[in-house]
Chains A and B, each alone.
Chain A
């Protein structure tokens, strides 16, 4: 805590001390950006971080493209696609596309990539991104079929998201390790240098095809990993960075007051929520009683959390999914307005007139989690606060040992409710509701190819989950992008930096 105070004082000092020395490296046509986290591997199938998604969108292309603003699907490496039956998609490929190493993009590359990543033995890090595909086969040089294991309506969304196409000959030889060090794709930027975890240099790919991503305007992108946000700010002030992102709201506010910088705030798909042990998996869970779960929902002033802590474009969320996701029907959700008296009454009714005491777990955003516990304390739910490392908490979650925990989920930027609600309510190891009714709705919604049937069943599931108060959905997250005035960029709501749409003013 002490160090946080000191650190924000330093941030203040940096702001106060900074003369207007900021000047972009516009002359060299090089945009310099900072990453906060060390990226494990540039190979997008072998990392699971936001930074990885940013590079993936720059270096590689998917078969399909979803416009981040209109959410419309457009062809990218494929020009058209049709469902042959419920589990087969046929795609016509764009001709004349070349990889950064000069080789032609053909059906063989699609077949190889799909068959490689779909094979569980190859160990793709985020299995759910690829494990809906069974295999791919070539029809002719520019026509392929992708076979699904079972019905999977979100296939198009995944083909326009995490599934990107790799050059077959190169990848067969280099593998994930070689690809991570010397990436080769068809994307708008090619990678010129990789220092694992530390630095990535990109250069606009001159032979980039006529893709809906657009041709890059800025020639060079230089990305450095700088773990400390104060140091990032110092670099920005001394003119050696042009853009930083994921900037905490208090610092972004101060930066925004200065003339030489512009701050953009955008929502992300990440949703914060409390999960409660309604199924009684942990010992003596008080949350098996619906009145206690409802009390938790009523006890927390989420609007105040958003206004005071998260700020920006964050919103109170009532659904167990992010509202922009397909099927995430806000009108189906039961909204619990802040009403501490009602919470106390419900607790009393449940037999906890004198309050109760639980272990409360969290793994990130300590200040949000602590604020939430103070609301719970106020209505008589005593919390024994436990902050754990992500992996340690996840292990306890899976074993069913956490009566209540503060969790977040970013859905991997997949704009479909299945990426969130179906993850947690289909009787998996992280399901603390174990409700058959919810599961049945979700199974129907996940496997139907009829959008109307899907919508209807997600709505029913959302209604059931919120009415039973299995979770207490909290809020959506936001992120701040800070740029020098020389950069022109409009961030999108999915927390992906898109270098192709950046330009100098």
Chain B
């Protein structure tokens, strides 16, 4: 605590004390609350890591195109390799909580929409959470925009039904969903049941036809699905953005600038260039893998595969889906719980938003106080705040009219992209890629394209503004 301002120390103890007290008090009320506490403490670790490494998926792509900085691309690849490696054991033993997603052109389009949005807002879904923990009001506005746009988009019907291809409509109504779910009304419902569910699901291990569970998990899904593509991506990043500067520095130091050894040293130099980001990626990857173990362990201990079952046993049935479930991913996730915050408020204000697949059939709309993933996201903000306070970086920052505009526009795009892609930069990219799911890379490909377009736009926007300021200085 040396060097940490006294007031910051007090707040660190307040936050950790509150989360500890919440864990103990709720556990004393019912042992099932330990399930929520597990989400909470992993969320806290995620928040600390994200803030420590300034770990933002948006900057991974954006900073490459905008300023040629590869540090986040490196950090994310490290985190994905480690997450995949750690969680492969639970997959190999048949205990994974992960479900691969259908893949197709929609994965790329969703990633593109999300990618444009995250450049406009200045942070991805998880990045906005950690920046909120640094006291950033713009980040809070981004979270709100993501939440509202998802809650609306998930239930949008009426005129939007006219935009649904007839083939989707027919396919959706033929699925025989429970009577409480009206699959013929709602753009998202017909998109999900009439299109997405008809798309193939593919893991790299399935693609390679590997049957042995351990070989499938470690060779198929991790080595071929994560390590090889991540290495190739980083080689491209090295050659396009890092190599020139590295060789220039070697030339200035009168060191050799040619040969395989030099290139390998340059590649390693890129990996270790930002120690903070690399360390954060390392801890995040391991924590995300352990998170899967712990949640599966809890599910085995309590004999339930979804927290909705435990809620029912506790006598809480409000907000359960038609299947008796709530959103309980079993791993790190960001956007669905955000949609549920606002969806729950809309519901309490009288909106009939439980007749759709997203809330009504799959995720429910439980009270945010007992929503498992909510505990994770709120603790993530707390963890980021603790880390920011410990490094004297916490500062309440309001927003401006310009930033608020980007937050609302970008956040809305991120919300729509997240629903189209069945997840955000964490759920649809980070987690899926790490688990060897083909759809994860497709979403990532779209995000890269979206980030490129977003950067092109901001380049034009900032050039225009700076030129006006510089003109006064004669530049």
Is chain B a partner of chain A in the same complex?
A: no
Residues in B lying within 8 Å of A, measured CB to CB:
none
Q: Which residues of A contact B (CB under 8 A)?
A: none
